[in-house]
Amino acid sequence: MHYQTLETRMEGSVAVVTLDRADCRNALDERAIDEIEHFFSRPPAEARAIVLAAKGPHFCAGLDLKEHYVKERTPAEFMRVCQGWHRAFDRIQHGGIPVVAALQGAVVGGGLELASAAHVRVGDKSTYFALPEGQWGIFTGGGATVRVARLITPNRMIELMLTGRVLTADEGMQIGLLNYLSEPGGALALAMSLAHKIAANAPLSNYSIVSGINKIWDMSATDGLYAESLLAALVQTSPEVQSRLREFVEKRAAKVAA
Ligand code: 1HE
């Protein structure tokens, strides 16, 4: 597939997918959403982790407001647009491969919805967050009511949307939008090194971590514990466990140390 809005490459077992519309601040038009869905539905077979990055000074300006203005969509048309975003971002969150997002500059509106589908978020001092939909008279439609609300609590999301407040990278760290704050300009390098470390885990462990925890969050406690035992039964008895644990038993494994 030749992508027009994405650039893709492999670095060892890490796939790097980069939003490539810096001239419009990586705003997400219908093609970009289709291409994101396509990539994350069929990631390279050898990919053990994925880094989601973006060209230019800003990660993503959200919904392509010009396209939305020009198309004058009907309610049914925009419902379909939203469902396309939900499909694409579900593939990121539930595709079974860990996704690390490298965030610089604006991570706003649909850009934050995209970032919140990743499993690990890395920023630097330039990174900032906002949900400015209110000023355009619109609402979130790319999954923020589910993913962003879970990350920062519904109450914080309501306040951000009502006031249009901009959160700094430090504030993003405090409330859980960022997992890591790198040195200036270092978000991509840190995201890559985390992704390489993640890629060294057993693929079935990673699959369970990225698909199981969020799915179990949607369940009752009883169902969740049952699902956890089923997942663990599958993962803990996989052949790779024996070779990894042998290293521990024979005292060749690295220790877990602070
Ligand atoms: C865009 C978009 C866009 C920039 N759609 N074209 N998102 C927003 O409300 C963000 C609106 N954008 C901004 O606040 C600023 O553009 C930025 C802070 C992101 C970047 O500022 P800056 O000074 O670096 O760039 P710029 O000069 O404002 O923009 C450069 C170009 O990108 C310019 O086009 P040009 O043809 O004049 O060069 C902008 O028009 C274009 N551009 N942002 C289209 N968003 C499923 S619902 C999701 C709901 C939402 O996401 S609401 C959108 C929230």
How many angstroms separate the CA atoms of 234 and 203, rounded? 12
Indicate if ligand 1 lies below 6 Å from the C-beta of 88. Answer: no
Average pLDDT over residues 233-246: 91
Q: DSSP letter at 220?
A: -
Q: DSSP letter at 28?
A: B
Indicate if ligand 1 lies below 6 Å from the C-beta of 109. Answer: yes
How many angstroms separate the CA atoms of 248 and 70, rounded? 61
Token look-up 């796939």 returns: 15
Query: Of the residues 20, 60, 65, which should be mutated to test ligand 1's pocket, given the most ligand atoms within 8 Å of the CB?
Result: 65
Instruction: For residue 209, name the pLDDT band (cuts at 50, 70, 90).
Output: very high
**Mean pLDDT score of the chain:** 97
Closest residue by CA, ligand 1 atom 32? 24
Predicted pLDDT of residue 70 = 98
Q: How far is the CA of 74 from the centre of ligand 1 (A)?
A: 22
Average pLDDT over residues 132-161: 97
Edge-to-edge order in the sheet of strand 128-130:
106-108, 128-130, 167-168
Indicate if ligand 1 lies below 6 Å from the C-beta of 130. Answer: no
Q: How far is the CA of 58 from the centre of ligand 1 (A)?
A: 10
Predicted pLDDT of residue 239 = 86
Closest residue by CA, ligand 1 atom 43? 61
Token look-up 């466990």 returns: 241
Residues that are catalytic:
113, 133
Instruction: For residue 49, name the pLDDT band (cuts at 50, 70, 90).
Output: very high
Burial of 96 (0-12, 13-18, 19+ CB in 10 A): middle
Average pLDDT over residues 75-88: 98
Q: How far is the CA of 7 from the centre of ligand 1 (A)?
A: 20
Residues contacting residue 57 through CB under 8 Å, at least 6 positions apart: 22, 104, 105, 126
Indicate if ligand 1 lies below 6 Å from the C-beta of 65. Answer: yes
How many angstroms separate the CA atoms of 50 and 40, rounded? 9
Contact call for residues 188 and 59 (beta carbons, < 8 A): no
Which pair of tokens denotes residue 54? 């973006």
Average pLDDT over residues 50-67: 98
Closest residue by CA, ligand 1 atom 14? 61
Predicted pLDDT of residue 10 = 98
Q: How far is the CA of 142 from the centre of ligand 1 (A)?
A: 17
Query: Of the residues 5, 25, 65, which should be mutated to test ligand 1's pocket, given the most ligand atoms within 8 Å of the CB?
Result: 25
Indicate if ligand 1 lies below 6 Å from the C-beta of 48. Answer: no
Q: How far is the CA of 29 from the centre of ligand 1 (A)?
A: 12
How much of the chain, in percent, has pLDDT values that exceed 70? 100
Average pLDDT over residues 243-249: 90
Average pLDDT over residues 162-178: 97
Predicted pLDDT of residue 1 = 80
Edge-to-edge order in the sheet of strand 14-19:
6-11, 14-19, 49-54, 99-103, 120-123, 180-181
Q: How far is the CA of 214 from the centre of ligand 1 (A)?
A: 31
How much of the chain, in percent, has pLDDT values that exceed 90? 95
Instruction: For residue 90, name the pLDDT band (cuts at 50, 70, 90).
Output: very high
Cα Rg, the chain, nearest whole Å: 19
C-alpha distances in angstroms, 52 versus 62, 161, 171, 214? 15, 25, 22, 19
Indicate if ligand 1 lies below 6 Å from the C-beta of 63. Answer: yes
Indicate if ligand 1 lies below 6 Å from the C-beta of 152. Answer: no
